[in-house]
């Protein structure tokens, strides 16, 4: 089976994603001109978006990586946020841009934001490729958002189901039997 055959449908194809990422890069370049922002990739889901976004920016940037997640291998947020690597020394006094793949319950980003704001950042904004506002539990919104998506579990372009489909180039919704198989 190819990965495409596991998808019920494609929600966002690679061309549409590329156009939007390029617009977002241009917007960030304009808003952060002369500021050399520190972009932080929230692993692992954001890695594909992050790689494209930084190359869509034509200003000087720096990058860091961190791990934070409220999901286990399920398709529903576990409610517990784990931050594995913290960047205390590196973010002080910086214009930080947190780069997320998707904001769902909002717990992950709310937790990371609150933590970073205590560490003396100069400014802090959140960029998320996808926003699923229907499932929000924390009062957070991305400052820059690629697409608003419906309440469906999506995979591809970095997003996974049980660590799979991250390398699928489009964003799609899996067939229901794919979840059933692994239960």
Q: Quick check: 70 binds ligand IMP (CB under 6 A)? A: yes
* Total residues binding Mg ion (CB under 5 A): 2
Residue 45 binds Mg ion, judged by CB under 5 A: yes
Shorter beta-carbon distance to Mg ion: residue 45 or 146: 45
Task: Tell me the two tokens of residue 104.
Answer: 């769902």
Q: How far is the CB of 157 from ligand IMP (least distance, A)?
A: 10
Cα separation, 61 vs 29, in Å, equals 9
Residue 60 exposure: Cα atoms within 13 Å on the Cβ side: 3
Of the candidate spans 8-16, 83-91, 97-105, 116-124, the one that interacts with ligand IMP by CB under 6 A turns out to be 97-105
Extended beta strands in 106-170, E state: 123-131, 144-148, 154-155
- Angle made by CA atoms 35, 87, 45, in degrees to the nearest 5: 90
Rounded to the nearest whole angstrom, what is the least distance from the CB of residue 33 to ligand IMP in the complex? Answer: 28
Q: Does the footprint of ligand IMP cover residue 105 (CB under 6 A)?
A: yes
Least distance (Å) between residue 89 CB and ligand IMP: 24
Nearest alpha-carbon partner for 96 in 127, 141, 131, 136: 127
Q: Enumerate the active-site residues.
A: 104
Residues in contact with ligand IMP by CB under 6 A are: 45, 69-71, 77, 100-108, 153-155, 159
């Amino acid at each position: 089976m190819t990965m495409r055959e596991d998808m019920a449908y494609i929600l966002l194809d690679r061309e549409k994603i590329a156009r939007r990422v390029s617009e977002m890069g241009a917007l960030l370049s304009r808003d952060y001109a002369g500021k050399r922002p520190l972009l932080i990739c929230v692993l692992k889901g954001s890695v594909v978006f992050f790689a494209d976004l930084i190359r869509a920016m034509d200003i000087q940037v720096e990058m860091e990586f961190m791990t934070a997640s409220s999901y286990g291998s399920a398709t529903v947020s576990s409610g517990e946020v784990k931050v594995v690597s913290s960047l205390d020394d590196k973010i002080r006094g910086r214009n930080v841009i947190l780069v997320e793949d998707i904001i769902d319950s909002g717990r992950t980003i709310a937790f990371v934001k609150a933590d970073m704001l205590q560490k003396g950042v100069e400014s802090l904004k959140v960029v998320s490729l996808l926003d699923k506002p229907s499932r929000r539990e924390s009062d957070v919104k991305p400052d820059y958002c690629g697409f608003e998506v419906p309440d469906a579990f999506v995979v591809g372009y970095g997003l996974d189901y049980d660590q799979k489909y991250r390398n699928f180039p489009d964003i799609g919704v899996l067939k229901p039997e794919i979840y059933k198989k692994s239960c």
